[in-house]
A and B are shown apart, each in its own frame.
Chain A
Amino acid sequence: MTAVTPAPPSTAVRPAPAGTVPPGRPGGRSRLRTVAGFAFGAALLFAVAPLVLSDFRLALLAKYLCVAMVAVGIGIAWGRGGMLTLGQGVFFGLGGYAMAMHLKLADAGPGGMPDFMQLYGQLDELPLWWRPFASPWFALPATVLLPMAVAFGLGSLVFRRRVRGAYFAILSQALAAAMVILLIGQQGTTGGTNGLTDIKGFFGYDLDDPVNQRMVYFIIAGTLLALLALTRQLIHSRYGELLVAVRDGEERVRFLGYDPASVKLVAYVVAAGMAGLAGALFVPAVGIISPALIGIVPSIEFVIGVAVGGRATLLGPVLGAVAVAWARTALSERFPGTWTYLQGLLFVVVVAFLPGGLASLWALARRRDGGEPPPRRGWLSLGRRRAERTEVPAA
């Protein structure tokens, strides 16, 4: 019953309109524009923001940028790959906890152990699985590799058996639920509901010092830019085209001789790695990681920013995530109830009536300027996601 709805044949291969750069092939002008865009973004993040914003606002921005990193990953997995992952909080949490465990152990000093363990767990010595995290050479790679390994494990089991669509979304959400319950249940060794709090140092730097907070912000901003560059390369590569093809017609890709499961798996694992990195950097920026930050609700909130910005675009998820996180802080402090309504409304309005996100408005305006005919089905169309379909260019 979950039939792949075949697109009408007339739209399957549409020759690119004359005079435009075919999608996915960075031509000379497009590459120049990208470099200029990156330079502009870097200037904004590295020069303007630190000058204009207070220390408090800058710390908030650092937090938003971490959320944006998760959003970039969701943009790849969901926007480009069609896999709605409602459990990115798990990977964010794995990265965050790995980093926080290391920082807690570093705070406690050699041979010491985090304070909460005696408090809740009545433990006399460090649990075995905490020990490797004392070494930065283990903990730092683990923040990225651990989430990727979990994603690989789940993804390779699930995608090979062609579990997809809503089934996959439900499973990923159940993973988030199970992870949170496990963390809360093992209070003696994980800190339970409180999570790992009160992190003071970051590789020898005191996190209470505003200068060091600023340094953490710069690390986060730089990482985000690097991830964006990586993502751009990825979605413009042959692999990126294949991923979109799998999204739009998995069976067709299979019949062409590719293995859709592997294609999806790569995107899912990359997204998990990005979420893990984001979690790891979130910890020094905010000083806490807890189950409340990674459960079902935050996991699905990661998705809304992506939907608002434009799920299948490069910058859409980043801008959307930052905008939603900013609106949340601005509104929820003053009118907590109103924010919940607004957030619900955002989900409904954006996803139902503007599936391409705000980026599709921009694309529409550009198309109007260029004098090209508007798309046959209006951009407000409630039917199939026509506007997002990108055709694989003829090789």
Chain B
Amino acid sequence: MTVLFGQLFTGISIGAVLLLIALGLALTFGQMNVINMAHGEFIMAGAYTTYVLQQSITGAGLSLAVALPVAFVVAGTMGVLLEVLLIRRLYARPLDTLLVTWGVSLMLQQLARDVFGSPNVQTRAPELLTGNVALPGGLTIANNRLFILALALAAVAALTLALRLTPLGRRIRAVVQNRDLAAVSGIATARVDRTTFFVGSGLAGLAGVALTLLGPIGPTMGTNLIIDAFLVVVVGGIGQLKGSVIVAFALGVLQATGEYLTTLSVAKVIVFVAIVAFLQWRPQGLFTLRTRSLA
């Protein structure tokens, strides 16, 4: 029972990290059909923002609290720059966007190497987040994992409310559902795209801050995470968030269980096979917008 619960929580905690990363991707991929490979480097930017802030703000707790909004803005700004300079020109060629943003991600990684050095750096975690929560029955949950889970769920809640209730959210949903109709209805789709990119990239920055709590940070930290996050979006279905939420936790639990029963490497293969099998059943993902288009 203890073991089972432990594995379940490990899975949920992997899922929370995946979810934080995938949320931003689900937004941008869903709305603009754009694969942003530099998303991983926005995570890195968020993580290094925390590191830089800790150089001047000594209190670990305070620096983390400051880092969250700052990282959001830093990563979001980078995202808008990328959108305005490159991606905007490539909307008709989604596959080429993938390669172009990969090039951008290579350059950003090298930039991080030149500025911060190739070796990983370590940030300080606030004392509040280093301990464990003891639950009845001898179970323990690491505080930092709990914090990340809370952060991910808060991000989902905030995003859902924003999409449902605000005028901006309404415009975003309109563009996702039918870009042309939204445009002729007077929505400035280009501006909506830019805002979405800001928010999506900003969420990557938040994920970066969260990842500083789990381990050291380095120039290539985004590369490995990004593929799993893309799988979450692909399997979850584009155009809405609930698919990504469910799939992120499902993949996390599957990964943790597979890892427990076999090994890390075999678990990865199991996850991949499961995804291909799932796409046989639902090629467009778990939830999908019903449209009349053929694709």
Interface residue ranges, A against B (CB under 8 Å) = 1-5, 82, 84, 86, 154, 157-158, 161-163, 165-167, 169-171, 173-175, 177-178, 181-182, 184-186, 251, 296-297, 300, 303-304, 307, 337, 340-341, 343-348, 351-352, 355, 382-385
Q: How many angstroms from the CA of A169 to the CA of B238 in the assembled complex?
A: 16
B35 touches A170 (CB 8 A): yes
Q: How many angstroms from the CA of A385 to the CA of B99 in the assembled complex?
A: 15
Q: How many angstroms from the CA of A346 to the CA of B107 in the assembled complex?
A: 10
B93 touches A182 (CB 8 A): no
A170 touches B234 (CB 8 A): yes
B265 touches A348 (CB 8 A): no
Give the distance to chain B from A116, nearest Cβ to Cβ, in Å: 17
Q: How many angstroms from the CA of A355 to the CA of B98 in the assembled complex?
A: 13
Q: How many angstroms from the CA of A345 to the CA of B111 in the assembled complex?
A: 13
Give the distance to chain B from A86, nearest Cβ to Cβ, in Å: 8
Q: When A and B form their complex, which 5 residue pairs have the shortest distance between CB atoms, in order from nearest?
A: A185-B265, A347-B103, A344-B106, A344-B107, A161-B283
Give the distance to chain B from A329, nearest Cβ to Cβ, in Å: 17
Instruction: Indicate if B191 sits at the interface (CB-CB under 8 A).
Output: no
Residues on B with C-beta less than 8 A from A86 are 98
Residues on B with C-beta less than 8 A from A1 are 30, 33, 176, 179, 238-239, 289, 291, 293, 295
Instruction: Indicate if B139 sits at the interface (CB-CB under 8 A).
Output: no
A346 touches B103 (CB 8 A): yes
| Interface core residue of B104, B224, B279 (most chain A CB under 10 Å) | B279
Give the distance to chain A from B269, nearest Cβ to Cβ, in Å: 5
14 A–B contact pairs at CB < 8 A? Answer: A157-B276, A163-B279, A170-B227, A170-B231, A177-B227, A178-B269, A185-B264, A340-B110, A341-B107, A343-B103, A347-B99, A347-B103, A348-B104, A351-B100
A174 touches B33 (CB 8 A): no
| Given contact pairs A343-B103, A351-B96, A174 touches B110 in the complex (Cβ within 8 A) | no
B283 touches A181 (CB 8 A): no
B234 touches A167 (CB 8 A): yes
* A-contacting 9-mer, from B67-75, B84-92, B148-156, B163-171: B84-92
B289 touches A166 (CB 8 A): no
Instruction: Indicate if B109 sits at the interface (CB-CB under 8 A).
Output: yes
Residues on B with C-beta less than 8 A from A175 are 272
Residues on A with C-beta less than 8 A from B283 are 161-163
Q: How many angstroms from the CA of A303 to the CA of B37 in the assembled complex?
A: 15
A166 touches B103 (CB 8 A): no
A340 touches B107 (CB 8 A): yes
Interface size class of B (residues with CB under 8 A): 35 or more
B272 touches A178 (CB 8 A): yes
B89: nearest chain-A partner, CB-CB: A382
Residues on B with C-beta less than 8 A from A84 are 95, 98-99
Give the distance to chain A from B35, nearest Cβ to Cβ, in Å: 5
B283: nearest chain-A partner, CB-CB: A161
Residues on A with C-beta less than 8 A from B96 are 351-352, 355
Q: How many angstroms from the CA of A171 to the CA of B90 in the assembled complex?
A: 22
Residues on A with C-beta less than 8 A from B99 are 84, 300, 303-304, 307, 347, 351
Q: How many angstroms from the CA of A84 to the CA of B275 in the assembled complex?
A: 19
| Interface core residue of B89, B98, B266, B275 (most chain A CB under 10 Å) | B98
Q: How many angstroms from the CA of A82 to the CA of B283 in the assembled complex?
A: 19
Q: How many angstroms from the CA of A84 to the CA of B268 in the assembled complex?
A: 23
Residues on B with C-beta less than 8 A from A165 are 94-95
Give the distance to chain A from B250, nearest Cβ to Cβ, in Å: 16
Residues on A with C-beta less than 8 A from B42 are none
Q: How many angstroms from the CA of A162 to the CA of B283 in the assembled complex?
A: 7
Give the distance to chain B from A204, nearest Cβ to Cβ, in Å: 35
B281: nearest chain-A partner, CB-CB: A161
Give the distance to chain B from A24, nearest Cβ to Cβ, in Å: 24
| Given contact pairs A162-B283, A170-B227, A174-B227, A384 touches B92 in the complex (Cβ within 8 A) | yes
B100 touches A296 (CB 8 A): no
A337 touches B110 (CB 8 A): yes
Instruction: Indicate if B50 sits at the interface (CB-CB under 8 A).
Output: no
B294 touches A4 (CB 8 A): yes
Residues on A with C-beta less than 8 A from B279 are 157-158, 161, 163, 167, 171
Binary contact readout B30-64 vs A (1 if CB under 8 angstroms, 0 otherwise): 10010100000000000000000000000000000
B279: nearest chain-A partner, CB-CB: A163
Instruction: Indicate if B242 sits at the interface (CB-CB under 8 A).
Output: no
| Given contact pairs A157-B276, A174-B272, A344 touches B104 in the complex (Cβ within 8 A) | yes
Instruction: Indicate if B2 sits at the interface (CB-CB under 8 A).
Output: no
Give the distance to chain A from B251, nearest Cβ to Cβ, in Å: 11
Residues on A with C-beta less than 8 A from B90 are 352, 382
Q: How many angstroms from the CA of A161 to the CA of B272 in the assembled complex?
A: 17
Instruction: Indicate if B280 sits at the interface (CB-CB under 8 A).
Output: yes
Q: How many angstroms from the CA of A314 to the CA of B166 in the assembled complex?
A: 52
B276 touches A171 (CB 8 A): yes
Instruction: Indicate if B124 sits at the interface (CB-CB under 8 A).
Output: no
Q: How many angstroms from the CA of A383 to the CA of B93 in the assembled complex?
A: 8
Instruction: Indicate if B102 sits at the interface (CB-CB under 8 A).
Output: yes
Residues on B with C-beta less than 8 A from A307 are 99
Give the distance to chain B from A32, nearest Cβ to Cβ, in Å: 35
A348 touches B86 (CB 8 A): yes
Give the distance to chain B from A2, nearest Cβ to Cβ, in Å: 4
A338: nearest chain-B partner, CB-CB: B110
Residues on B with C-beta less than 8 A from A351 are 96, 99-100, 103
| Given contact pairs A3-B294, A251-B294, A174 touches B93 in the complex (Cβ within 8 A) | no
Q: How many angstroms from the CA of A340 to the CA of B29 in the assembled complex?
A: 27
| Interface core residue of B35, B223, B276 (most chain A CB under 10 Å) | B276
A178 touches B268 (CB 8 A): yes
Instruction: Indicate if B198 sits at the interface (CB-CB under 8 A).
Output: no
